[in-house]
Structure 1
Amino acid sequence: MQVSDVRIFLAVVSAGSLSAAGRQLDIGPMQVSRRLAVLEDELGVRLLHRTTRSISLTAEGEAFLPYANTMSEAEESARGALSPTSAAASGVLKLTAPSVLGQTIVLPVLASLLDQHPGLRIDLDLSDRVIDIVGQGLDLALRVATLEDSELVARRIVGNPRVICASPRYLQRQGVPSRMADLDDHQCIVLHAVPRWPVVAQGELQRRRVNARVTTSNVDAARTAAMQGLGLAMLTYWDVHQQLGEGSLVRVSLEDATMEDLSVWALMPTRRYVPTRVKVFLDALEQELARLYSAPSIQR
């Protein structure tokens, strides 16, 4: 089995068509088709359903996909380790990240990486939904959550606690709450995904109902509503760190409760054969987040 054929298979899955994969690899679609046929003959199974309009994985293709990714990554890691320029990252970095974190943190980091590594390309999915990174052939996913048990490899990047915040105008008009009971006297901006606010009181996590003046499914909308003085919002630190730094939002602390302490996690399909492109991205991301987190104007 040729690793080059495996890479063609992965390119077709990623690009969605033989012609698009051919353009990506700078070869003709007929050559793509022939190499796929050779790979299928060697494996003794059909990996892809092909029609004139679409390409889709067979059940056998789905089962082969994680092995194909591992083979491709192992070859790249070996080449990188043996190359005199092993510090250079190349290939396509495929990742997914939450929308706000991706726009405010990830994209600037990627811009710097592209300058440092001319052979690197980026395939970025900004989405708040949970994506099957193995099935989609991604290198990693950034997630902000309390992680459930998973077969994926998880690496904690930085803390990301929930914070209660509001605009200075709102707090001047309505007052600053200092205890949990004070929340009953305030209008709040609530995310559909977090209908009750998680707070830690007396060592226990509680889900507290608040007066929802604005309810939305979108973090950007909740942050904007808070900046416009529509109420208190509970968002994660990295969703509002810029606004806390510039003063358009103010953090509110409660004497008798703290907010749920989340983290930013990097999830990867495997601990073995981690490509250089993933390593340099995670190192750059950790450095940038550490720098921002220690900024005097916005640190906790």
Structure 2
Amino acid sequence: MTNLGDLEVFSRVIATGSMSTAARALGLSPAVVSKRIKRLEDRLGTRLLQRTTRQISLTEAGQGFYERVVAVLAGIEDAEAFASGRSSEVRGTLKISAPTSFGRLHIAPHLKTFMDAHPELAVHLVLSDEFTDIVGGGFDLAIRIADLSDSSLVARRLAPVRRILCASPGYISEHGMPQTIDDLKKHRCLPAHNYDAWRLEGPHGALNLRPDGMLVTNSSEVIREAVISGLGIALRSTWDVGPELKAGKLVQVLPAYEGSRNVSLSAVYPSRQFLPAKVRLFIDYLAELYGPVPYWER
């Protein structure tokens, strides 16, 4: 049987992306870490890692093995918590990936309450507008705003997401208010993520609109600031621009059309038989915080 410690070493190497970093975290020398990875590969009869002078990466066999190792270690953690009655006394590090704007606006302000309730738990929050590789990046979970119907990951819906077309009053005063969906072709539009299509639902059902844009950026926050400044029309979530709508800094455009209702706010994590207590507690916390009618819609 494979040594459980070797699995922990292997998992830490992948999570940190470096044998030397993993060695420091485990209190071992890099040579010992390398030796234990080699012992694991010899036992399995297959190469798990591709090593170069600059980085390491998983082989196809290594990827599948890592996903299963994570599940095994998570199961052990869950079993220990259950047996010791410490299911609410979590410790260690919770690594989370989240969208940049949402993380700043609706996760960061609420971390204190969660962390005060679990003082032995450290949180590593990574914000990015791109979908991160949860397994490869060593994340415990990711918060995503997307249609996850085709995802292979386990997902728990946290809240609905309502997205509307909007513009500043100054832009409307200068360029006029669109009256039909076809009128958008005559307007400056601000598609995010390099001209991603707008998936809308309207009076005649669903449609995909790929608007032309004068601004190209991979930052959702840049689009937000651009629409508020009066540069054009954008499709924005109410969690993102709710205060500006209430203050009159933005107005809704073509209210008969909104973003696809298949898009929602979800917590996603690798498929595991046992969900670690730290992940379960954080997901439960967010689900209660946001709810079926999130506070930004009230």
Give the TM bin, normalised by the shorter chain.
0.7 to 0.9
Matching residue's letter, 2:257: A
Structure 2 residue aligned with 1:259 = 259
Taking structure 1 as reference, are residues 282 and 58 closer, same or farther at Cα in structure 2, changes over 3 Å only? same
Taking structure 1 as reference, are residues 271 and 50 closer, same or farther at Cα in structure 2, changes over 3 Å only? closer
Per-residue CA deviations over 1:232-284 (Å, capped at 9, x if unaligned) read: 21122333234335553333452x43432221122221142111111111122
CA RMSD of aligned residues (A): 3.0
Mapped contact 2:195–2:212 kept (Cα < 8 A) = no
Taking structure 1 as reference, are residues 267 and 213 closer, same or farther at Cα in structure 2, changes over 3 Å only? same
Structure 2 residue aligned with 1:132 = 133
Q: CA deviation at 1:181?
A: 5.4
Q: Secondary structure at the match of 2:191?
A: strand
1:271-290 alignment runs, 5 A limit: 271-290=272-291
Taking structure 1 as reference, are residues 74 and 245 closer, same or farther at Cα in structure 2, changes over 3 Å only? farther
Structure 2 residue aligned with 1:223 = 224
Structure 2 residue aligned with 1:12 = 13
1:1-300 alignment runs, 5 A limit: 1-50=2-51, 54-174=55-175, 176-177=177-178, 179-180=180-181, 183=184, 186-194=187-195, 196-208=197-209, 210=211, 212-245=213-246, 247-254=248-255, 256-261=256-261, 262-290=263-291, 293-295=294-296, 298-299=297-298
User: 2 CA distance for matches of 1:57 and 1:260?
Assistant: 36
Consecutive unaligned residues in structure 2, runs of 5 or more: none
Mapped contact 2:96–2:125 kept (Cα < 8 A) = yes
Consecutive unaligned residues in structure 1, runs of 5 or more: none
User: 1 CA distance for matches of 2:41 and 2:61?
Assistant: 10
Taking structure 1 as reference, are residues 166 and 39 closer, same or farther at Cα in structure 2, changes over 3 Å only? same
Q: When the two structures are superposed, what TM-score results if normalisation uses the length of structure 2?
A: 0.83
Matching residue's letter, 2:219: N
User: 1 CA distance for matches of 2:252 and 2:220?
Assistant: 17
Per-residue CA deviations over 1:79-118 (Å, capped at 9, x if unaligned) read: 1112232212222323322222222223334444333323
Q: Secondary structure at the match of 2:291?
A: helix
User: 2 CA distance for matches of 1:271 and 1:53?
Assistant: 31
Mapped contact 2:193–2:220 kept (Cα < 8 A) = no
Q: CA deviation at 1:71?
A: 1.0
User: 1 CA distance for matches of 2:214 and 2:98?
Assistant: 29
- Over the matched positions of the two proteins, sequence identity in percent amounts to 36
Mapped contact 2:16–2:138 kept (Cα < 8 A) = no
Matching residue's letter, 2:94: L
Matching residue's letter, 1:91: G
User: 1 CA distance for matches of 2:8 and 2:218?
Assistant: 38
